[in-house]
Amino acid sequence: MYYVKPLVVEDVHYVASIMSETSNIAALHSTYHSLSEWKCIFDKNACDADEENFLICVDNNICAWLKLNGLLNADTAWISMLVVADKYKHQGVGKFAVEYAFEYLHSKGFNQIGVQTTKDNLAAINLYKKYGFNIVELKKFKTEDVTKTKAYLMMKTLEPKKYSLVIPDETYKEAYIQMMNKWESVEDNIQPELLRRYSKSLGANVSYSKWLEWCEDDRTTGSMLSTGVPCTLYFFIDDTSEILGAIEINQKNTHRGHLHAGIVPWHRGKGLGTKILESALEICRNMGMTSVDIVPYKTNKSAIKTILKNGGILIDEFYEDEKWSQRYRVSL
């Protein structure tokens, strides 16, 4: 399972390694740079708000380097570098990186994405064509290794994805099982808790139909919940019905607030936390709530950032189970 992490200066040696591979030097018409040279390059651009650098990873191994720039533009951003380590080529890494770039840039409000690639880089050209990029210009280009060649300028309009919250039913059986099999293989503490299917009494996962019975009881009585407060679980899905995460909405405020959410690991870092919270707040409004409380751990900086973005105000913090939690309130 591929995932993305921001590139920090301590990880520059991965970029140096990938960019020193003979096949990548040839494909990019680049030249060899030492690790110290790469560190100087990244130090120089460390505070550049116009670009972001990412590493594509699998099983704690680095597969590729992705760089996006033009982030200060109003409408169009660019894939300025996508290079895959030899060991991971032809395994879908490039596809994953392009899809990540789409979702990341769309979450930042961009409507168009561009890329420039030399005419002889057929693998890159074919990849971008597959994802709907159109060639808009063929231009003369001088590469880093001083080769005089031509490069294609390719552009794509970013089509907005549609997201929604739905109550689980038989329709989502296969999507749920596939998602949970994948998630359970990489994390133990899946959130929100109602998403879990493991039965301590059985010592095994229950069937999907039995899990749906749990969801129904949680919605109607809350008898199996420690709070005793009825709670509705929603799948967060896109327009292909892929389950991207889930959120619980308590019908009443509890010690841990009204809302508990989680995004699957392979879709984190794409702005989906904001979208799931926005959708949940709309449901809460329709339920007649005038405010909701959300209680993240104090160390969960990404959740807190999302809550603040949606108008959350810190009203309390408390220490429990050797962890600090903060209570935020969002007025509806």
Amino acid identity, position 81: M
pLDDT band at 241 (very low <50, low <70, confident <90, very high): very high
- C-alpha 181/C-alpha 3 separation (Å) is 16
Cα dihedral: 193, 196, 197, 199 (round 10): -50
Q: Which of 108-117, 144-153, 165-174, 281-290 has the lowest mean pLDDT?
A: 144-153
What's the sign of the alpha-carbon dihedral 211, 214, 219, 224? negative
CA angle 164, 168, 172 (to 5 degrees): 85
Which whole number is the average pLDDT over 50-69? 94
Which whole number is the average pLDDT over 261-281? 91
Residue 145 has pLDDT above 80, yes or no: no
- C-alpha 155/C-alpha 153 separation (Å) is 7
Domains of the chain, CATH where assigned: 2-157 (3.40.630.30), 164-331 (3.40.630.30)
pLDDT of residue 212: 97
Cα dihedral: 275, 54, 44, 300 (round 10): 50
Cis peptide before 6 (omega within 30 of 0): no
CA angle 249, 254, 255 (to 5 degrees): 130
Give the rounded percent of residues in the chain with a pLDDT score beyond 70: 100
User: Cβ contacts of residue 220 below 8 Å, gap of 6+?
Assistant: 230
pLDDT band at 192 (very low <50, low <70, confident <90, very high): very high
Question: In terms of Cα–Cα distance, which of 115, 112, 141, 145 is closest to 128?
Answer: 115
Q: Which of 103-107, 213-217, 281-285 has the lowest mean pLDDT?
A: 103-107
Helix (H, G, I), strand (E, B) or coil at 182: helix
User: In the beta sheet, which residues pair with residue 156?
Assistant: 113
Residue 241 sits at φ, ψ, to 5 deg, of 70, 20
Residue 137 has pLDDT above 90, yes or no: yes
User: Cβ contacts of residue 110 below 8 Å, gap of 6+?
Assistant: 73, 75, 76, 77, 158
* pLDDT tens digits for range 74-110: 899 999 999 999 999 999 999 999 999 998 998 888 9
